[in-house]
């Protein structure tokens, strides 16, 4: 029944730009390093402009313009040389002026696109526009009153609007992760979702498969994690299909997501929807860019995730999946680059593959279990490079390598001394291994005969026995050579 339907999803992402000052005044826009918004005295970072006092005039922050253009260039958007600020009028206590300064019919960036990882090939998702606007303040709701804190009012935002071109919660998740890694790589957004640096609204509708017109959409507001937005969209798709299947009609409305119950709930119907009465803000003249300025910014673009992915495949012969995983995470790719740089030039495909395996496997697991960022952990690129070297040269086994990594994660001790201390060095000495192997052959004569007769599968039995007898220290490749030699 459900496969008759397909979902159509469009996303609106708000990124707080990581400038020092607010978009239209010189109030600090960022909290001091390590301090969260919650720790700042309410209303400390405010002035007549961002609290909307009569007569106060906004003056646009140059860096904000540059950051928006960088976002536009990185997403292949048409950069508009002429754009206009408009007033979006609505009443809410966190909006002191009674309007939000935003952009409406002439945004700073027009159509563009973003490539997201897909099943067999990357998929291109259209971007409708990117516009500049100011953030609102924050309300804290108490019994009998609400408290308004305007520290966030006037913090610069870009809103990135996608085309309705995603057809599943997974695609929406992939788009968000790709966009997140892009703005963080560009250095224009801190990207901390818990702090609200990167927020997402999802427009979800369903239609009969094959139909071209869009169904009525519901908008899911402000969900603050990738996992929750995917779950919220998935829930909403199923809910709408149920509504249609049972003969009802989807209502255009705003819905909130309750992560405890994993449901979306109606917040505001279309009848109550705002009429924003947009008009050009007479306090601000049009924003004019020059081609020279835009080209200068283009030249300042860092290597972007898709370029990085291509380079990793080319330079280190990484699989497209490995290259994609690395390039989509700034912390993983930074750690990778610093580790691979410790190897002498030449064919680095083997160490590169080994580094990726440790990074995406054991290290990602350790980091998420301990809730510690890789960069803040005791493991350094030097540790990882040493570990890869001893693994590749057969000094330690793969299970031994994992053990070393856990030890290094906990202590930060050098790899050599961990191997020494925990006795993890593989026995690669033929003289020491031969008697062990001989003993195993002697006590398992029938298996030995079968192996000799050509039943190759039995080799793993002998290697396993030798590993057991040596306390896991025997070099498995060497054991199998010795077995062959002794049975010859």
Partner 1 sequence: MDMNAISRSVAKLARLELSEEEVTTFSDQLKQVLTYIDQLQSVPESSLGAPLYHPLELPTLLREDQAKTPQLDSEGRPSMLSAASQTDGLIGTAYKVPPIL
Give residues in contact with partner 1 (CB under 8 A).
19-21, 26-29, 41-48, 51, 53, 59-65, 84, 91-93, 106, 139-150, 275, 277, 280, 282, 284-288
Contacts of 282 (CB under 8 A, 6+ apart): none
Alpha-carbon distance of 155 to 22, in angstroms, equals 5
Contacts of 183 (CB under 8 A, 6+ apart): 15, 71, 189, 191, 198
Rg (CA), the chain: 29
Please give the structure tokens belonging to residue 477. Answer: 């490749």
Cβ closest to partner 1, residue 44 vs residue 350: 44
Cβ closest to partner 1, residue 17 vs residue 415: 17
Cα angle 8, 12, 15; round to 5: 150
Contacts of 290 (CB under 8 A, 6+ apart): 81
Contact assessment for residue 473 and residue 427, using Cβ atoms and an 8 Å cutoff? yes
Contact assessment for residue 175 and residue 11, using Cβ atoms and an 8 Å cutoff? yes
Q: Are β-strands 218-223 and 253-258 bridged in parallel, bridged antiparallel, or unpaired? A: parallel
**Least separation, in Å, of the C-beta of 134 and partner 1?**
14
Closest by CA position to 204, among listed 188, 215, 194, 212: 215
Cβ closest to partner 1, residue 102 vs residue 426: 102
**Least separation, in Å, of the C-beta of 80 and partner 1?**
13
**Least separation, in Å, of the C-beta of 273 and partner 1?**
11
**Least separation, in Å, of the C-beta of 196 and partner 1?**
18
Alpha-carbon distance of 101 to 89, in angstroms, equals 9
Cβ closest to partner 1, residue 54 vs residue 119: 54
**Least separation, in Å, of the C-beta of 137 and partner 1?**
9
Cβ closest to partner 1, residue 29 vs residue 232: 29
**Least separation, in Å, of the C-beta of 151 and partner 1?**
9
**Least separation, in Å, of the C-beta of 400 and partner 1?**
51
**Least separation, in Å, of the C-beta of 292 and partner 1?**
14
**Least separation, in Å, of the C-beta of 138 and partner 1?**
9
Cβ closest to partner 1, residue 100 vs residue 181: 100
Cβ closest to partner 1, residue 286 vs residue 464: 286
Q: For the sheet containing 279-280, what is the strand order? A: 99-103, 85-89, 279-280
Cβ closest to partner 1, residue 39 vs residue 275: 275
Cβ closest to partner 1, residue 68 vs residue 233: 68
Alpha-carbon distance of 163 to 165, in angstroms, equals 5
Alpha-carbon distance of 159 to 439, in angstroms, equals 71
Alpha-carbon distance of 382 to 27, in angstroms, equals 42
How would you classify residue 263: left for phi > 0, otherwise alpha for psi between -120 and 50, otherwise beta?
A: beta
Contact assessment for residue 256 and residue 229, using Cβ atoms and an 8 Å cutoff? no
């Amino acid at each position: 029944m459900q496969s008759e339907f397909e979902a159509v999803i469009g996303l609106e992402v708000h990124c707080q730009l990581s400038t020092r000052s607010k978009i239209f005044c010189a109030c600090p826009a960022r909290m001091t390093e390590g301090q969260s918004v919650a720790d700042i005295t309410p209303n400390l970072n405010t002035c007549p402009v961002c609290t909307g006092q009569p007569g106060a005039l906004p003056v646009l922050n140059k860096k904000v313009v540059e950051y928006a253009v960088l976002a536009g260039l990185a997403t292949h958007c048409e950069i508009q040389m002429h754009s206009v600020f408009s007033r979006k009028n609505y009443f809410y206590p966190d909006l002191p002026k009674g309007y939000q300064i935003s952009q409406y019919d002439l945004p700073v960036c027009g159509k563009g696109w973003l490539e997201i990882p897909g099943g067999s090939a990357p998929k291109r998702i259209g971007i409708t526009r990117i516009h500049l606007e100011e953030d609102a303040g924050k309300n804290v709701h108490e019994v009998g009153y609400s408290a308004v804190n305007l520290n966030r009012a006037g913090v610069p935002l870009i809103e990135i609007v996608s085309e309705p071109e995603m057809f599943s919660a997974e695609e929406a998740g992939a788009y968000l992760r790709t966009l997140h890694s892009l703005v963080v790589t560009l250095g224009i957004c801190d990207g901390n979702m818990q702090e609200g640096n990167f927020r997402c609204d999802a427009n979800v509708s369903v239609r009969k498969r094959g139909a071209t017109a869009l169904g009525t959409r519901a908008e899911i507001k402000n969900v603050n994690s990738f996992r929750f937005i995917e779950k919220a969209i998935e829930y909403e798709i199923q809910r709408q299909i149920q509504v249609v299947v049972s003969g009802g009609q989807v209502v255009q409305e705003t819905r909130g997501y309750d992560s405890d119950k994993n449901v979306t709930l109606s917040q505001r119907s279309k009848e109550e929807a705002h009429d924003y009465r947009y008009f050009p803000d007479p306090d601000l003249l049009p924003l004019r860019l020059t081609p020279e300025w835009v080209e200068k910014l283009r030249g300042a673009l860092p290597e972007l995730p898709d370029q990085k992915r291509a380079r990793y495949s080319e330079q280190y012969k990484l699989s497209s999946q490995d290259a994609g995983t690395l390039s989509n995470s700034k912390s993983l790719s930074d750690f990778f680059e610093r580790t691979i740089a410790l190897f002498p030039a030449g064919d680095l495909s083997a160490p590169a593959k080994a580094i990726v395996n440790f990074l995406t496997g054991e290290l990602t697991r350790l980091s998420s279990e301990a809730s510690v960022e890789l960069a803040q952990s005791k493991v350094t690129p030097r540790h990882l490079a040493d570990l890869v070297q001893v693994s590749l040269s057969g000094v330690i086994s793969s299970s031994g390598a994992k053990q070393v990594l856990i030890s290094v994660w906990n202590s930060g001790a050098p790899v050599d001394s961990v191997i020494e201390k925990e006795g993890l060095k593989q026995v690669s000495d033929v003289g020491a291994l031969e008697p062990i192997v001989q003993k195993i052959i002697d006590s398992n004569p029938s298996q030995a005969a079968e192996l000799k007769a050509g039943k190759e599968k039995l080799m793993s039995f002998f290697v396993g026995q030798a590993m057991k007898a040596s306390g896991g220290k025997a070099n498995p490749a060497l054991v199998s050579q010795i077995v062959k030699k002794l049975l010859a």
